[in-house]
Amino acid sequence: MFKGSNVALVTPFKDNKLDVETYIKLIHFHIQNGTNGLVPAGTTGESPTLSHDEHEKVIELCVKESKGKLPVFAGTGSNSTEEAISLTTHAEKIGANGALIVTPYYNKPTQEGLYQHYKSINDKCGIPIIIYNIPGRSVIDMSVDTMARLYELKNIVGVKDATGDLNRVDQTLKKMGKDFIQLTGNDDNALEFNKRGGVGAISVTANIVPKLCSDFQKFSKSETDNELKEAERLNKILQPIHHAMFVESNPSPVKYAAKLLNLCDDEVRLPLVKVTDNTKKIVKEVLLSAKLI
């Protein structure tokens, strides 16, 4: 269920309020353009500045509008274990297929604290959980050994690895085997990640080029030479776009790109701000180069 190109969906705002109409359009845009899964209320969805009601609403909209056509694994993580349990049980109740749960940020728990955090959530829900390991934002790095302990629990099924360390793919595969789902959180390393045993990505870039990302993922897992060459060709097209999406803090650049493509406005919530003129130039140039505008 959880493989291929899964979009880390942006949350569109209008006058600092959730733009429901545009959000619904974005969901259908992905259904129509080959995206393999929807991930609402993650980092790219600006979850830290969504109210509790908004957080639940964007997950509900994804479940309702996708109507089972795409799996929805909702961002339900928090640095508060009780809040993560609340968000996860709500996602399960309204029909999400799984939960993406980030390692607790700011608190700096030990490896045992990480284990107990995820075990507490696991014990309160009945849907698959993907661990989101992103030390660049959360400071904490979950070890492969801790992940292996968690994999023994009933609901822990995989990881979104945003460490940028490709050796982790090998270590995780060796420790947990191929049934443990490995998705990259770094668009730019997706080709090598999949070659080493990964099965897809939770992608920022897929917000603006879903079909390119979906085709790339499909061909990257092929066993035929022609399709692997096609994956390499698409990867070359995608690399400049990937890099442009992170010139400034995500999701400001991808929201500006989405604005250029008439998908949604580039409004973000403080403390994030819209991108600078220099970044606008970079984003526009890569979209022109890829013949997207």
pLDDT at residue 83, as a whole number: 97
96-147 residue pLDDT tens: 999 999 999 999 999 999 999 999 999 999 999 999 999 999 999 999 999 9
237-278 residue pLDDT tens: 999 999 999 999 999 999 999 999 999 999 999 999 999 999
pLDDT at residue 1, as a whole number: 73
Q: Which amino acid belongs to residue 115?
A: Y
Contact 110, 80 (CB under 8 A): no
pLDDT at residue 86, as a whole number: 98
**Domain positions in the chain:** 4-221
On the CB side of 283, CA atoms within 13 Å amount to 26
- The 10 Å Cβ neighbour count of residue 63 is 22
Q: Which residue has the tokens 């997950």?
A: 59
C-alpha span between 234 and 219 (Å, rounded) = 9
- The mean pLDDT value for 219-224 works out to 94
Residue 260 token pair: 């250029």
Q: Name the percent of the chain lying above pLDDT 90.
A: 99
- The mean pLDDT value for 226-242 works out to 97
| Ordered DSSP codes for 122-166 | HHH--S-EEEEE-HHHHS----HHHHHHHHTSSSEEEEEE-S--T
Cα angle 63, 193, 133 (rounded to 5 degrees) comes to: 60
**Choice among 3, 118, 151, 160 that is catalytic:** 160
Work out the burial of residue 195: count CB atoms within 10 Å of its CB; fewer than 13 is exposed, 13-18 middle, 19 or more buried.
middle
Work out the burial of residue 254: count CB atoms within 10 Å of its CB; fewer than 13 is exposed, 13-18 middle, 19 or more buried.
buried
**Choice among 118, 132, 151, 256 that is catalytic:** 132
Contact 99, 73 (CB under 8 A): yes
pLDDT at residue 84, as a whole number: 98
182-210 residue pLDDT tens: 999 999 999 999 999 999 999 999 999 99
C-alpha span between 157 and 129 (Å, rounded) = 6
The answer to whether residue 218 is catalytic is no
- As beta bridge partners, residue 99 has 74, 129
The topology (CATH level 3) of 4-221 is TIM Barrel (3.20.20)
Q: Which amino acid belongs to residue 165?
A: D
pLDDT at residue 219, as a whole number: 98
pLDDT at residue 94, as a whole number: 98
The answer to whether residue 93 is catalytic is no
